[in-house]
């Protein structure tokens, strides 16, 4: 029986997640937390709202994740200079090292998953996945 696109996407995501579980545990991170760290590594800093909008996730979930990350020494939080109600999140050295380690591990998993793919095939896959994501994010046009 051939798998549907939905099944293939689901299983691919979970295989990748399973390959990275031991890394996440070794770093002392929960599910979802590595993406917060890598976002802050790439952006330098950000608010909880920035992170929620970027990943399309619930701001309350981001708040819970960032509070745990802060308590565990991965990031700091300070009040934004231009707004008392907004906080700026920044990585600590521990958070920076964890994010870099996570990225290296993701690159290793990506190389394994793309073994045997040509550069053209890899670019085509990325392009098609981006189109899927763009289509999913669009408002219904019908």
Residue-level pLDDT, tens digit, the chain, 142 residues? 888 999 999 999 999 999 999 999 999 999 899 999 999 999 999 999 999 999 988 989 999 999 999 999 999 988 766 665 578 999 999 999 999 999 999 999 999 999 999 999 999 999 999 999 899 888 755 5
Pairing of strands 75-79, 87-91: antiparallel
pTM: 0.84
Whole-number Å distance between alpha carbons of 106 and 124:
20
Q: What is the pLDDT of residue 12?
A: 94
DSSP class per residue in 27-58: HT--TTHHHHHHHHHHHS-B-HHHHHHHHT--
Whole-number Å distance between alpha carbons of 40 and 56:
16
Whole-number Å distance between alpha carbons of 116 and 95:
34
- Tell me the CATH number of domain 5-136, given options 1.20.1640.10, 1.10.10.10, 2.60.40.10, 3.30.365.10: 1.10.10.10
Q: What is the pLDDT of residue 2?
A: 87
Domain boundaries, the chain: 5-136
Residues 50, 56, 57: CA angle, nearest 5 degrees: 90
Look-up of token digits 């802050």: 40
């Amino acid at each position: 029986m051939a798998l549907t696109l939905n099944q293939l996407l689901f299983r691919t995501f979970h295989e990748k997640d399973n390959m990275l579980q031991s890394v996440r545990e070794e770093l002392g991170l929960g599910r979802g937390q590595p993406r917060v760290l890598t976002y802050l590594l790439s952006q330098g800093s950000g608010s909880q709202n920035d992170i929620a909008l970027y990943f399309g996730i619930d701001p309350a979930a981001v708040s819970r994740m960032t509070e745990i990350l802060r308590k565990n020494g991965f990031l700091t939080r300070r009040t934004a200079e231009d707004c008392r109600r907004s906080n700026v999140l920044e990585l600590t050295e521990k958070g920076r090292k964890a994010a870099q380690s996570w990225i290296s591990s993701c690159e290793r998993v990506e190389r394994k998953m793309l073994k045997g793919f040509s550069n053209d095939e890899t670019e085509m896959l990325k392009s098609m996945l981006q189109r899927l994501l763009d289509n999913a994010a669009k408002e219904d046009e019908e």
